[in-house]
Amino acid sequence: MQKQAAIVTGGGTGIGKSTSLLLASKGFKVVVNYSRSAKEAEETCAEIIKLGGEAIPYKANISDDKAVKEMAQKCSGMFGGIDVLVNNAGTTHFIEHNDLDALTDQVWDDIFSVNMKGTFYACRAVMPELKKSRGNIVNVTSVAGLAGNGSSIPYAMSKAALNCMTKSLAKAFAPEVRVNAVAPGPVLTRWLAPHPKMIEQSLSLTPLKRAATGDDIAAAIVFLATGTNLMTGQIIVVDGGRTM
């Protein structure tokens, strides 16, 4: 039986790295996509290969539609198809929500070009292959898109749009392709490391009293990708109970 193949955008660090490793442990051939984190992507692939898995690093900025289409075509050719797409790549600006003057056109473009348009480009590029394989997509969104909090207003809005996109694509491409999302609360990655007060404030409102790790979120992502056949259009919140 041919191994299944997965693309994980932003797959070399944080949630993406944990997801790449977990998918590989379940027998997937993994494309570890990156834009700037070449060293980390190569290290993630090396770790997978050391454990007996198959992985390749692939550089492509997901906000570049042409580059994303090339990635999908090349990876499908190398691995004989695509079964899972994990849209993990994202970006933000940390801006107080009451500082509206700081929300320049450049800030909006930076965030929406990756978080919303880039995710759409990736979905569109792999959809023909996923329809063939009856595969699925898992988007990494955020509770910010549900509650309107988070690092900045544009970030929260981009994730809200991604939650909606998840449902729209799930409706449009069922029953061949399932599309779901995981919405994390604070995750202990390099993104939040310079912002301990933000973490402390969030945990004060969190029943389970801890932030997520990359492994926590990866477990939910891989469950949606491999552990169920009857879930689509769902936004699974993983935030220690804060938004319940």
* Block mean pLDDT (10 aa), the chain, length 244: 89 96 97 95 97 97 98 95 97 96 98 98 98 98 93 97 98 98 85 65 80 93 97 96 86
Task: Tell whether 118 is covered by a domain.
Answer: yes
Residue-level pLDDT at 1: 53
Domain count, the chain: 1
Residue 191 confidence (pLDDT): 60
Report pLDDT for 75: 95
Q: What is the pLDDT of residue 193?
A: 60
In a domain, 174, yes or no: yes
Q: Which structural domain range is residue 169 located in?
A: 5-182+216-238
pLDDT of residue 186: 82
pLDDT at residue number 210: 83
CA distances from 75 to 31, 44, 100, 187, 224 (A): 7, 17, 42, 29, 22
Residue 116 inside a domain? The answer is yes
Which one of 34, 58, 121, 155 is the catalytic residue?
155
pLDDT of residue 190: 65
How far is residue 207's CA from residue 209's CA, in Å, rounded to a whole number? 5
Residue 121 bears catalytic tag: no
201 in a structural domain = no
Is residue 203 situated within a structural domain?
Answer: no
Q: Are 23 and 50 in contact (CB under 8 A)?
A: no
Q: Is residue 199 part of a domain?
A: no
Residue 107: inside a domain:
yes
Residue 211 lies in a domain: no
pLDDT of residue 16: 97
> At 116, which CATH number?
3.40.50.720
